[in-house]
């Protein structure tokens, strides 16, 4: 089957090209890319793509699955469908499941489930799914897992998705992981300083009457991690960066050529602590939303390369979980189906971020953080391609959302922009 994407805006994160072209595909293989194609095979399905955007499939650095253990929140099937619906052709799952992804048997079981889902009819595009193997047993930050054994598996790397508060353990982890040469992701957060806080400490937390979390809960832990990296030399990816001071510390670390990369989440780019005036429990996040200066610093960090990537950090919770007072709600929101449309609408359209930079931060740069090769859109290569229509609107409700959970501030609201088609290896 031949398909022609006629006059589509193609974003190439590797070359930096942003141009309008024709793309000819044959059975999901790219056969031609040109300013205008006239030699079209008979019976080609022609898609009028004026105003639409094409680019490589997106990669999410870290998100949660409900399965195994909390299938009422999200199954692997619903998670994979949500990913494809949002244009994500690769997922990397954090190990906090029940049981945790801290041993070869559980990880193998998860991969078997994914393969079974891909082979089940009807055949449809499916994301590549990898998991982060846990750093500590049962993701409790107390005792390290069998790192060498886990390193022999097809994992994204090592991460708990929880803070490692014990600095002696952190040091040992860095030392043991250095020769294994697997990606390592750490969340800089001091649980003692977080305490019972539920939002960023500051003027807003006082006005809203909610216990605050000081910015130093992140930055003191980050400074400790960076000192360990400087001493030991193990490459580290810093997840969930949320403060202006953190961006400054990472910028300084990169200037010193420390082997670090960093990511923030899409929600921290779109909101700041002023939004909590609504007391919407879907704005309860970990780390909490920063203040306006933090939000600006994160955006500036993306623009100058200090912050490498944008993560979804998809965290499903049931209606009952989230329908409570703000301070009692569990942290996290869903986002796989919402990230690209809302970042495009609120950052690209107003020219706060270029389209190419956004695509790089959601595809090429995550691959680099994962130390993985990146599949560009090239002639005679299998298509790793998504088609996005910024003008198409849809409603984030049970009719359109594939995720089993609906914990998002945009639930039942109109969303501008939608991924209309995905080509990727099943």
β-pairing, 45-48 vs 29-34, is unpaired
Average confidence (pLDDT) over 269-297: 98
Q: Which residues pair with 10 in a beta bridge?
A: 19, 54
Interval 363-384: pLDDT, tens: 999 999 999 999 889 999 999 9
Average confidence (pLDDT) over 2-30: 96
For residues 300 and 276, the answer to whether their CB atoms sit within 8 Å is no
**Tokens 């959302």 sit on residue:** 401
Interval 287-325: pLDDT, tens: 999 999 999 999 999 999 999 999 999 999 999 999 999
Percent of the chain whose predicted confidence (pLDDT) is above 70:
100
State the Cα–Cα distance between residues 42 and 39, nearest whole angstrom.
Answer: 9
Burial 165-197 (b: 16+ CB within 10 A, else e): beeebbbebbebbeeeebbbbbbbbbeebbeeb
Average confidence (pLDDT) over 181-204: 97
State the Cα–Cα distance between residues 194 and 346, nearest whole angstrom.
Answer: 30
Above 80 in pLDDT, residue 58? yes
More confident site: 49 or 1: 49
Closest CA to 75 of 318, 323, 281: 318
Average confidence (pLDDT) over 334-357: 98
Q: Which residues pair with 184 in a beta bridge?
A: 158
- Residue 178 phi/psi, 5-degree rounding, is -55, -50
Q: Catalytic: which of 60, 160, 294, 313?
A: 313
Bond prior to 10 in cis (omega within 30° of 0): no
Average confidence (pLDDT) over 345-352: 98
Bond prior to 286 in cis (omega within 30° of 0): no
Average confidence (pLDDT) over 57-73: 98
More confident site: 425 or 245: 245
Above 80 in pLDDT, residue 425? no
The answer for residues whose C-beta is within 8 angstroms of residue 30's C-beta and 6 or more apart is 23, 24, 377, 378, 379, 380, 381, 382, 383, 385
Interval 149-167: pLDDT, tens: 999 999 999 999 999 999 9
Interval 393-417: pLDDT, tens: 999 999 999 999 999 999 999 999 9
The CA-based angle 22-28-29, given to 5 degrees, is 70
For residues 159 and 132, the answer to whether their CB atoms sit within 8 Å is yes
Mean predicted lDDT score pLDDT of the chain: 97
Average confidence (pLDDT) over 61-78: 98
Average confidence (pLDDT) over 242-258: 98
Tokens representing residue 228 in the block: 């360990």
Please say if 18 is a catalytic residue. Answer: no
Which pLDDT does position 314 carry in this prediction? 98
Closest CA to 183 of 51, 290, 300, 92: 92
Listed by start position, the domains of the chain span 2-48, 58-374+393-414
State the Cα–Cα distance between residues 64 and 71, nearest whole angstrom.
Answer: 12
Integer CA distances (angstroms), 116 to 6, 83, 94, in order: 35, 17, 20
Which pLDDT does position 354 carry in this prediction? 97
Span 58-374+393-414: which CATH code?
3.20.20.140
For the residues of 142-176, what is the DSSP string, one character each?
Answer: SSB--HHHHHTSS-SEE--SS----HHHHHHHHHH
Which pLDDT does position 253 carry in this prediction? 98
Above 80 in pLDDT, residue 426? no
More confident site: 1 or 24: 24
The answer for residues whose C-beta is within 8 angstroms of residue 372's C-beta and 6 or more apart is none
State the Cα–Cα distance between residues 57 and 359, nearest whole angstrom.
Answer: 9
Above 70 in pLDDT, residue 46? yes
């Amino acid at each position: 089957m031949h398909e022609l994407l006629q006059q589509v805006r193609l974003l190439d994160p590797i070359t930096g090209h942003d141009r309008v072209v024709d793309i000819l595909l044959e059975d999901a293989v790219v056969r031609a890319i040109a300013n205008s194609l006239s030699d079209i095979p008979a019976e080609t399905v022609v898609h009028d793509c004026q105003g639409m955007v094409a680019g490589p499939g997106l990669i999410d650095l870290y998100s949660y699955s409900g399965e195994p253990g909390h299938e009422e929140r999200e199954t692997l099937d619903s998670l994979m469908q949500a990913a494809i619906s949002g244009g994500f052709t690769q997922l990397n799952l954090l190990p906090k499941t029940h049981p945790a992804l801290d041993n070869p048997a559980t990880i193998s079981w998860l991969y078997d489930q994914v393969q079974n889902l891909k082979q089940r009819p009807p055949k449809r595009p499916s994301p590549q799914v990898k998991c982060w193997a846990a750093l500590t047993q049962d993701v409790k930050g107390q005792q390290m897992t069998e790192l060498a054994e886990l390193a022999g598996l097809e994992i994204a790397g090592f991460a708990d998705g929880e803070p490692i508060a014990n600095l002696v353990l952190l040091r040992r982890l860095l030392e043991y992981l250095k020769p294994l040469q697997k990606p390592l992701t750490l969340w800089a957060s001091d649980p003692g300083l977080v305490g019972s806080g539920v939002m960023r400490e500051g003027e807003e937390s006082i006005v809203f009457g909610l216990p605050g979390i000081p910015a130093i809960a992140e930055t003191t832990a980050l400074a400790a991690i960076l000192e360990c990296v400087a001493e030991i030399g193990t490459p580290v990816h810093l997840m969930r960066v949320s403060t202006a001071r953190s961006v400054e510390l990472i910028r300084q670390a990169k200037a010193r050529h420390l082997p670090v990369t960093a990511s923030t989440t899409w929600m921290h780019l779109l909101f700041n602590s002023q939004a909590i005036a609504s007391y919407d429990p879907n704005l309860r996040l970990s780390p909490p939303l920063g203040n306006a200066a933090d939000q600006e610093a994160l955006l500036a960090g993306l623009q100058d390369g200090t912050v490498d990537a944008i993560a979804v950090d998809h965290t499903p919770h049931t209606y009952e979980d989230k329908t409570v007072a703000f301070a009692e709600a569990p942290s996290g929101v869903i986002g796989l189906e919402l990230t690209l449309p809302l970042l495009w609408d609120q950052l690209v359209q107003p020219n706060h971020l270029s389209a190419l930079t956004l695509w790089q931060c959601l595809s090429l740069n995550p691959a680099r953080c994962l130390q993985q090769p990146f599949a560009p859109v090239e002639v005679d290569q299998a298509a790793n391609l998504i088609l996005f229509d910024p003008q198409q609107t849809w409603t984030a409700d049970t009719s359109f959302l594939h995720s089993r959970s609906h914990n998002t501030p945009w639930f039942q609201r109109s969303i501008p922009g939608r991924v209309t088609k995905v080509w990727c290896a099943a």
